[in-house]
Amino acid sequence: MRPDDEVCLCKHVSQRKLVNFLLREKPPCASGLAECLGAGTGCGWCVPFLKQLHEQWRNGEVPAVSATPDNYGANRGLYRERRRAEKAAQAAAETGSQ
């Protein structure tokens, strides 16, 4: 990804913003990245990538997501479809057990 590509698509948080937040705020854990404009608090797709960025930063590496923006966005679409299907199945199971 390029620095201005969004890592958190729900909250529109770019990789540049996240990296600068890491350098400035030095969050002790990856969940602290949520304080950067709410990153990771929407659909949840970006949480593994936020953890990756945090881990890279902790290891003294340059934090970067290696996916291409198109691939990243397409995979998020599949993730969201799968999540909707799982929620629908769970709701149907709960309704059927009543």
pLDDT digits (tens, 9 = 90+) for 47-79: 999 999 999 999 999 999 999 888 998 899 899
Look at residue 98 and tell me whether its pLDDT is greater than 70. no
Q: Are 1 and 65 in contact (CB under 8 A)?
A: yes
Which tokens is 58 given? 């902790």
More confident residue, 97 or 82: 82
Domain locations in the chain?
A: 6-96
